[in-house]
């Protein structure tokens, strides 16, 4: 027998009492912001959800400006980023992730075509900062520091800016025209780049240039060496130098058949580049299987489409004049390759080694306070600062994921901490909201809307030259793609709660201002919570169970 309060006089009142709603509600709704998984996964720290919403509204320039708060090279990143944001996208569990990188590329290319500009956010500070290395991390730090009002000078040992974006990523993935224009826009903020300027004595350069701080971002341009007996050492090339020479138009002669040793993205790029240089056969040799390769799966797919051959579970023991001796490997229960004692002979005129890169940090070893990992990478704290006062470091030369996007994220992070250090304060990042996952969304209303695919040059035509193989989206498709975003965890003013509330307790506050609740009218029935598609509403317990 239910103990009924005196004010319950009907079956409907009794049901509300049992559910904790009505005049004795035990819970009530609140609007709350969550962290979408795409934002959480972005190494550059972009507010992806925010700029996708602006694209949905056709506000392309504002969307680009939103990206530029975090990332100065969207046309580059829309092409070369491995988009971990899409791997984490909640829509992947319905009908395919939002093609975030394709929309970013659309905005980046539109900005270049229409010559959109970015201006500094602060007045000149009078502080000078030296950046060593004009790769992605150095350029990113320079951009953000310039926007913060500081004078930035980059010393670059090479003749051009871009680092591994220019010399390590082939033009069929990253056309040089777009890269150069995005670098030019950074220079237009007042960033000075001094080319062919190698740093040997960092502290002397810091003093001579009256620099208040230094950010070191020299990247990892040295190929790792492994001991393979070879009768003719000229038959072995390192992948980094090979890709650099190919980019500069001075690639070495390769012969008819080329073998590439390694299973990472650099190995895939070296093999695909060799094909474009005219070799009859490019063969990748890797000591583990495809499941354990470090290269991204789509890189291997594209390589195979272009006729690249891959020999899994093989390790090279010796190179002869026109052949390789390889040993067949087998994976143990932990996925580690073990020798089998079985050997094969493979034809190859040249062997390209793509077994990893190292950073040349030797010029920093004389600086007191700077510490290094055994692999030569520099130890930094959470603010990218080394153990030496005023010396910061980032990109491939610190322990981290070695990608363009991670390097750009380091540059932004370092810039914010350098700026705070120059102002005798500390940069404290904004606390992150709770992460929202697919199970919390209410997407019952959706029908399938398949991802808009980017056109590709046919595989049998790709190896004819170094032209870009992936086309961008047009405005219609980019807008459609942005509209596939769920707006996970954050209100986008769909009016669902407003229309669903039976008590008219939801009050609209006008475009961009969302809603509020009138708790004098709210019964805690949770209808608004149950229909909210993006889970921007939470039900919380009442402190007291009566109104």
Establish if 399 belongs to a structural domain.
yes
pLDDT in tens, 172-219: 999 999 999 999 999 999 999 999 999 999 999 999 999 999 999 997
486 in any annotated domain: no
pLDDT at 510 over 90: yes
Same domain, 281 and 242: yes
Confidence band for 434, pLDDT divided at 50, 70 and 90 = very high
Residue 484, in any domain of the structure:
no
Which of 282-291, 374-383, 461-470 is least confident?
A: 374-383
Residues 27 and 141 both lie in one domain? no
> In this prediction, what percent of the chain has a pLDDT beyond 70?
94
Rounded CA gap, 176 and 170, in Å? 9
Structural domain span for residue 466: 38-116+442-474
Give the number of C-alpha atoms closer than 13 A to the C-alpha of residue 466, restricted to the C-beta side. 17
Beta strands in 410-459 (DSSP E): none
Domain co-membership, 267 together with 332: yes
Identify the domain boundary among 339, 355, 371. 355
Within a domain: residue 436?
A: no
Has residue 482 been placed in a domain? no
Asked if residue 351 and residue 303 are part of one domain, the reply reads yes
pLDDT in tens, 85-108: 999 999 999 889 999 999 999 999
Q: Are residues 108 and 213 in the same domain?
A: no
Cα–chain center distance at 26: 44
Do 378 and 418 lie in a common domain? yes
Distance (Å, whole) CA 56 – CA 62: 11
Higher pLDDT, 17 or 448: 448
Q: What is the count of structural domains for the chain?
A: 4
> CA-CA distance, 465 to 1, in Å (whole number)?
83
Q: With respect to residue 466, please indicate whether it lies within any of the assigned structural domains.
A: yes
- Please check whether residue 122 lies inside any domain of the structure: no
Distance CA 484, CA 261 (A): 41
**Residue 229, Ramachandran bin (φ over 0: left; ψ between -120 and 50: alpha; else beta):** beta
Return the CATH number at 108: 1.10.1060.10
Return the closest-CA partner of residue 43 out of 395, 382, 398.
395
Q: How far apart are CA 398 and CA 377, in angstroms?
A: 5
State phi, psi for 28 to the nearest 5 degrees.
-150, 155
Tell whether 93 and 187 lie within a shared domain: no
Claim to verify: residue 240 and residue 335 sit in the same structural domain: yes
Contacts of 40 (CB under 8 A, 6+ apart): 88, 432, 435
Please count the other Cβ atoms lying within 10 Å of the Cβ belonging to residue 50: 17
Together in a domain, 69 and 92: yes
Look at 116-125, 242-251, 358-367, 409-418 and tell me which has the smallest mean pLDDT.
Answer: 358-367
Average pLDDT, the chain: 90
Does the pLDDT value for residue 54 go beyond 90? yes
311-344 pLDDT per residue, tens: 999 999 988 878 889 999 999 888 889 999 999 9
Which tokens hold the place of 60?
């392309």
* Residue 152 and residue 193 in one domain: yes
- Whether residues 506 and 460 share a domain: the answer is no
- The answer to whether residues 186 and 134 belong to one domain is yes
Cα→Cα distances 462→270, 457, 469, Å: 15, 6, 7
CA dist 459 and 151 (Å) reads 46
Dihedral angle of Cα 273, 276, 280, 283, to the nearest 10 degrees = 20
Tens of pLDDT, residue by residue over 267-289, are 999 999 999 999 999 999 999 99
Confidence of residue 4 (pLDDT cuts 50, 70, 90): very low
- CATH for 312: 3.50.50.60
Could you tell me if residue 430 is inside a domain?
no
CATH number for the domain harbouring residue 532: 3.30.70.20
């Amino acid at each position: 027998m239910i103990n009924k309060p005196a004010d319950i006089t009907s079956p409907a009142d009794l049901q509300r009492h049992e559910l904790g709603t009505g005049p004795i509600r035990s819970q009530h709704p609140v609007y709350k912001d969550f962290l979408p998984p795409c934002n959480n996964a972005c190494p550059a720290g972009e507010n992806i959800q925010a700029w996708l919403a602006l694209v949905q509204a056709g506000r392309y320039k504002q969307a680009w400006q939103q990206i530029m708060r975090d990332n100065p090279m969207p046309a580059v990143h829309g092409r070369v980023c491995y988009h971990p944001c899409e791997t984490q996208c909640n829509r992947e569990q319905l009908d395919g992730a939002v093609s975030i990188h394709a929309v970013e590329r659309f905005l980046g290319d539109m900005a270049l075509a229409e010559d959109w500009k970015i201006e500094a956010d602060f007045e000149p500070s009078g502080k000078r900062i030296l950046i060593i290395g004009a790769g992605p991390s150095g350029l990113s730090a320079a951009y953000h520091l310039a926007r913060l009002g500081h004078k930035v000078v980059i010393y670059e040992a090479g003749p051009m800016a871009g680092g591994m974006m220019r010399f390590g990523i082939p033009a069929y993935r990253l056309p040089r025209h777009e890269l150069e224009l995005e670098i030019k826009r950074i220079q237009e903020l007042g960033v000075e780049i001094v080319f062919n300027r190698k740093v040997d004595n960092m502290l002397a350069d810091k003093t001579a240039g009256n620099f208040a701080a230094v950010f070191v971002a020299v990247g990892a341009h040295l190929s790792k060496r492994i001991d393979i007996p070879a009768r003719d050492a000229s038959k072995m090339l390192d992948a980094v130098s090979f890709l650099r020479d190919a980019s500069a138009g001075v690639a070495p002669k390769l012969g008819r058949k080329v073998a590439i040793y390694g299973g990472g993205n650099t190995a895939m790029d070296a093999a695909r580049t060799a094909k474009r240089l005219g070799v009859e056969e490019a063969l990748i040799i890797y000591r583990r299987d495809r499941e354990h390769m470090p290269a991204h799966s789509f890189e291997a797919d594209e390589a195979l489409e272009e006729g690249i051959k891959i020999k899994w579970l093989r390790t090279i023991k010796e190179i002869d004049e026109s052949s390789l001796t390889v040993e067949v490997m087998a994976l143990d229960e932990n996925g580690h390759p073990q020798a089998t004692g079985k050997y094969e002979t493979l034809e190859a005129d040249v062997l390209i080694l793509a077994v990893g890169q190292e950073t040349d940090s030797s010029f920093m070893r004389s600086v007191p306070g700077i510490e290094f990992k055994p692999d030569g990478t520099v130890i930094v704290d959470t603010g990218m600062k080394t153990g030496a006062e005023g010396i910061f470091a980032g990109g491939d030369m610190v322990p981290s994921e070695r990608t363009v996007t991670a390097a750009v994220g380091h540059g932004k992070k370092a810039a914010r901490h350098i700026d705070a250090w120059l102002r005798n304060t500390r940069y404290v990042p904004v606390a992150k909201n709770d992460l929202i996952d697919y199970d919390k969304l209410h997407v019952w209303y959706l029908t399938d809307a398949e991802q808009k695919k980017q056109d590709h040059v046919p595989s049998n035509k790709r190896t004819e030259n170094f032209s870009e193989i992936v086309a961008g989206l047009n405005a219609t498709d980019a807008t459609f793609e942005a509209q596939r975003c769920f707006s996970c965890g954050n209100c986008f003013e769909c009016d669902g709660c407003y229309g669903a509330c039976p008590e008219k307790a939801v009050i609209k506050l006008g475009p961009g201002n969302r809603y509020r609740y009138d708790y004098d009218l709210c019964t805690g029935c949770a209808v608004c919570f149950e229909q909210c598609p993006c889970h921007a509403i939470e039900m919380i317990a009442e402190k007291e169970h009566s109104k």
